[in-house]
Amino acid sequence: MSLPLAQQHCQPVSGAPLADAEIAPLLAQVPGWQRVTTASGQTAIEKRYAFADFHRTIGFVNAVAFVCNREDHHPDLAVSYGACTVRFNTHSVGGLSANDFICAAMIDALQPA
């Protein structure tokens, strides 16, 4: 049995993106994340987080930056007063890799239950 996604770490990847059959079980492990297509046509996952005010939003953004920099896997962020949308995909494979789901689980772990 492998570790939960949030306890794994990103690894360098190359080659082909995950196949649809590989994406579904990983997506099931990160509730609230949705599969989307980027403007460049690549598959990505994203989730919107809501906050009471700008201060809390920016605190979350800083925490995301810390976690993702440590993992060397950086998301696209859309930040507004009371929300942040986080989007992951792996540019080196042109779509999704396990790293995207690992970081998504780590970001979810930042949020209180």
The model's pLDDT over 34-83, given as tens digits with 9 standing for 90+, comes to 999 999 999 999 999 999 999 999 999 999 999 999 999 999 999 999 99
C-alpha to C-alpha distance for 58 and 42, rounded to whole angstroms: 27
Residue with the two structure tokens 């059959």:
21
Give the CA angle between residues 69, 82, 61 to the nearest 5°. Answer: 10
pTM of the full structure = 0.94
With beta carbons less than 8 A apart as the criterion, state whether 83 and 51 touch: yes
Q: CA of 48: how far to CAs of 77, 97, 107, in Å?
A: 10, 20, 11
C-alpha to C-alpha distance for 49 and 60, rounded to whole angstroms: 9
Please count the other Cβ atoms lying within 10 Å of the Cβ belonging to residue 100.
Answer: 29
Burial 22-39 (b: 16+ CB within 10 A, else e): ebeebbeebeebeeeeee
Tell me the average pLDDT of the chain: 95
Topology of domain 16-110 in CATH is: Gyrase A; domain 2 (3.30.1360)
Percentage of the chain exceeding pLDDT 70: 97
